A and B are shown apart, each in its own frame.
Chain A
Amino acid sequence: MREFQGRVVSPGKLTAEALVSHGGLNTLASFQKALQFGDKKATCGDQNNPDLYGKEMAGKALCLPRTIGSTTGGLVLYCACSMGRQPACLLFSEPIDSLAAAGAVLADVWLEGEHTSMPVVDSLGEEFLNYVQDNMTVNVLDGGRVQVI
């Protein structure tokens, strides 16, 4: 077990199974099919992301460096949260990018109810992404602390 310290972007505590992307998450390419066609498990549709393509993202502790791609990214995350198809949390190794930040803040300010929650921690460091692997257990604790087991 290792513990990593990051910064709280959207607060919340939880335990979830890790899903790891070593490249940037292209939010639109990853979520668009899931949002349009009722895939509640949010299967990743980004053919350019070999780590995530075809894997279910909903309910997972999604560990990633950053998000990339279309500036619809923030509203796509907001919609995923509103529809209950979001990852359990987003854990960034790097400081958060403007599109993911928009999605996290929009969901936190404008949505209500537990099913819309998506805690976000950023700046966990490169070592975090080197250590965490798919299916490991991730505990998101107070104050930006993240345990990986």
Chain B
Amino acid sequence: MSEKMKLTQEQQAILDGEKGETLAKVMETLVRYGQLFGAQSMVPVTSQYNHLVTSFGLKALGPVYELMDKLIAEGAASKQKFSADPRPVDKNVPSSFLQNFVFQNFMYTRQDFYEEQLSKLGLMEQDAFTCACYLDQVGNTPKEGDVLSWSESSAVVYANSVLGARCNRNSGIIDLMGSVVGYVPYFGLLTDEGRRATWIVEVKTTKKPEAQLLGSAIGMKVMEDVPYIVGLDQWLVSLDDGAKTYLKDFGAATASNGAVGLYHVEGITPEAARLGRELIADGARTYVIDDAELQRVYDSYPVVWKNKNAKPKLCFMGCPHMSLEQLTSWTERVERGLKEAGRQKVAIPTVFTAAPAVIREFEATPYGERLKQTGVILSYICPLMYMNNPLSGKMPVITSSNKLRTYTTARYYTDDEILAQITKGGN
């Protein structure tokens, strides 16, 4: 098994079963996984915390919980504490009696059980549930150069690109296994070579492109490759809170509409700022994005509502979870939009989602009350998990998240269009 990968004495002993059969299988999984990508060795995980994609006690994932039970029974707790993706249900989010019946009796029937499993395996704290774990308020922010065993595509692409950490696009379960043994196979985005760009993306739009739309276009074009983006630095001057929020949403779209795990933005992201065009590999292809290309991508999205002209019944913002900066700026935008429309409250039930820690900090500011006055609901929920309910899937739901659009029946609109819909009823 290990003839292609050079293991240390400790790693080999685990593989040979000296720490039990379950840990041996964990190591075998990681070694076989790494060998498929030509990994020659395993390297230590160096981040303080891990992050897991699986946060939901979904009845259908029974086999995953059985596997986790095996790890717990063998005392194979994670070597690191970890955060996990958002919880799937929140009673503050509007849902019908029937939707709730499906949530409680058919879908997330094992939520309490699973959260107990996560506690035993090393959850950071009781409400460490968010896809945006890297935000300051949450506290799972890796340092540049840290080696991670994370999953959650939007978190991995952010950690690699904006923070300069090193992490492959690990699947759920693999994430936990790397943390359990403390090592991950060395390949892909962990290596200098794997972080070089094989695409140059030239942004030539006449105004700052919508983050979610630009990310979608790039993701669908480059798929799993690494793009080096030029032309965006005219709008993102430095890596301030606004730029980080933009890149959070942009990256999530590249990762869900394609399979991007790392991007470089010239002059902005840490490796691009340090190494510049040295990051571009020989033979890199070029993709030019102008206004017409963004419009083409926008027009290509299928609308899968039964009645394409239905009045939206719900709006979700925050997939991935919104930042503090985003909640604040959106409060101002919604207030302005309502004032222009002569309304007191939003015209469509609207949910903004954010990490519990971000919500706490936001609600401690005057903006918390101001947002509440607009009628917008603030929740820690995962909109995707809400939309997975088939009854939710039949509802006309709108969103400015290209990730939510990709995985569900939610209809995508740009931020300006969403604002018009929720403040003016689409007029």
Contact = CB atoms under 8 A, between A and B. Distances in A.
B153 A70 contact: yes
B256 A36 contact: no
Contact of A71 (B53, B67, B258, B390): B53
Interface string A64-106: 0011111111110011001100000000000011110111011
A135 interface: no
B137 interface: no
A17 B374 CA distance: 55
Contact of B170 (A29, A35, A102): A102
A75 B48 CA distance: 24
A36 B407 contact: no
B395 to A, nearest CB: 15
Contact of A101 (B33, B67, B151, B224): B33
Contacts of B271: none
A48 B29 CA distance: 31
A75 B64 contact: yes
A35 to B, nearest CB: 4
A110 B171 contact: no
Given A36-B107, A105-B32, A71 B64 contact: no
Contact of A48 (B60, B107, B152, B302): B302
Among B25, B53, B107, B407, chain A packs the most CB atoms within 10 A around the CB of B407
A71 B151 contact: yes
Contacts of A66: 223-224, 259
A69 B156 CA distance: 12
Among B170, B174, B223, B409, chain A packs the most CB atoms within 10 A around the CB of B174
A59 B406 CA distance: 25
Interface in A38-67: 47-48, 66-67
A62 B28 CA distance: 26
Among B54, B168, B256, chain A packs the most CB atoms within 10 A around the CB of B256
Contact of B33 (A28, A70, A73, A102): A102
Contacts of A37: 106, 390
A78 B406 contact: no
B174 A36 contact: no
A18 interface: no
B168 A109 contact: no
Q: How large is the interface on B (under 10, 10 to 19, 20 to 34, 35 or more residues)?
A: 35 or more
A73 to B, nearest CB: 6
A110 B25 contact: yes
Contacts of A32: 388, 407
Given A24-B223, A98-B37, A105-B32, A82 B63 contact: yes
A37 B391 CA distance: 12
A105 B33 contact: yes
A26 interface: yes
A72 B171 contact: yes
B169 interface: yes
A102 B174 contact: yes
Nearest to B303: A47
A69 B172 CA distance: 13
B44 to A, nearest CB: 19
A140 interface: no
Contacts of A124: none
A143 B412 CA distance: 45
Given A32-B388, A47-B409, A74-B172, A79 B256 contact: no
Contacts of A9: 36
B94 to A, nearest CB: 21
Interface of A: 9, 24, 26, 28-29, 32-33, 35-37, 47-48, 66-75, 78-79, 82-83, 96-99, 101-103, 105-106, 108-111
28 contacts: A9-B36, A24-B258, A32-B388, A33-B388, A36-B58, A36-B59, A36-B60, A36-B107, A36-B388, A37-B390, A47-B302, A47-B304, A48-B302, A66-B259, A69-B153, A75-B173, A79-B61, A79-B63, A83-B60, A98-B169, A98-B188, A99-B259, A101-B33, A105-B29, A105-B36, A106-B173, A109-B28, A109-B29
